Chains A and B, each alone.
Chain A
Amino acid sequence: MVFLEAEMSSNVLLSPEHLTPQGLLLRKSIITRLFEDIANKKASKEHGYFIAITSLNSIGEGRVRTLTGDVLFPVNFMCLTQKPTKGEVLTGIVDKILKHGLFLKSGPIDNIFISEKLTGEYKYVPGENPVFLSEKQGKLEKGVSVRFKVVGFRWMEAERHFQLLGSLAGDFLGPI
């Protein structure tokens, strides 16, 4: 998984009770609110998942919103992000095995599906504990680490996350 340290800008909105005479408290309130905003936002289509804010570059002058009395501060910062790319080889952990394929999780990405059409030599074996089995290369079951290739992905606006499609059909892919 390739992580990026990206430069980002965001507007932090503070309501009047945070605007005390002591400058230090103000800065802390802005930073705390920024952390909250980013944590709530989770991810964006453009940047991918927001993992952690690594440094603050600048906090601009606040602008008062006349109707509400809130103050808007433009903040520029560096953020660790992660975004899937088509064709990339990723490592994931098997979460669920179904007849038509398997589901994996990989870091912040919760929703990865590998269709049974793309599992290469691995075939579904039903049972109380279903698995995908290959003669030469072993077994895929819940908890196993797997290398797969990203075939495609899409951004789900409502859930604010990415949905990935993967494939095990290729050299050096499969359990590790």
Chain B
Amino acid sequence: MSGEEEENAAELKIGDEFLKAKCLMNCEVALILDHKYEQLQQMSDDAANQVSQVFEKSLQYVKRFSRYKNPDSVRQVREVLSRYQLAEFELCVLGNLCPETPDEAIAMVPSMKTKGRIDDDEQIEKMLQDLSLIKKFE
């Protein structure tokens, strides 16, 4: 039992689709799915029956595990993370898990360091501080 032979997210050895397509964080998906659900409610009285189980479970999940709720904060999070040389996949993992220390960040996204893009912990520290400021002012 395994994924593809070489696949390993810790080393950013992930499928092409992750590297080319747009990756979204939980908080971004929460906004999209909420909006979709409202659209469905406007079109029919029976929105609850119109959405699939996959949709429901995903909506519940992203709402529970979103650190940032309001659209402006969500946008700021993406902006802050985009300033660093991160792959979309790595950006999303950081935005989702919201590590508190550089050690935790590196444990969650080991590929950040191995590809030599973010060499010193101070950069990571600054990134995490910027993210928690957004939360403070939400």
Contacts and interface: CB of A to CB of B under 8 A. Distances in A.
Contacts of B3: 84-86, 152-153
Contacts of B55: 39, 51-52
B54 A106 contact: no
A1 B26 contact: yes
Contact of B32 (A43, A54, A153, A163): A54
Nearest to B36: A52
B11 A2 contact: no
Contacts, number: 129
Contacts of A87: 7-11, 13
A107 B104 CA distance: 23
A4 B21 contact: yes
Contacts of B132: none
B57 to A, nearest CB: 5
A3 B52 contact: no
A54 B58 CA distance: 14
22 contacts: A1-B61, A4-B21, A5-B24, A35-B50, A50-B54, A54-B36, A80-B24, A85-B9, A85-B14, A85-B15, A85-B18, A86-B7, A87-B11, A89-B9, A89-B108, A105-B57, A110-B57, A145-B64, A153-B1, A163-B1, A170-B107, A171-B104
Interface in A157-174: 163, 165, 170-172
B39 to A, nearest CB: 10
Interface string B24-59: 111011001100100000000000001111110110
Interface of A: 1-7, 35, 38-39, 42-43, 47, 49-52, 54, 80, 82-89, 91, 105-108, 110, 145, 147, 150, 152-154, 163, 165, 170-172
Contact of A2 (B4, B13, B23, B50): B23
A47 to B, nearest CB: 8
B124 interface: no
A106 B58 CA distance: 8
A140 to B, nearest CB: 17
Interface of B: 1-4, 7-11, 13-15, 17-18, 21-26, 28-29, 32-33, 36, 50-55, 57-58, 60-62, 64-65, 89, 92-93, 96-97, 99, 103-104, 107-108
Given A87-B9, A153-B1, A165-B1, A172 B21 contact: no
A86 B9 contact: yes
Contact of B52 (A39, A82, A86, A91): A39
Nearest to A108: B54
Contacts of A170: 107
Given A51-B54, A170-B107, A171-B107, A2 B18 contact: yes
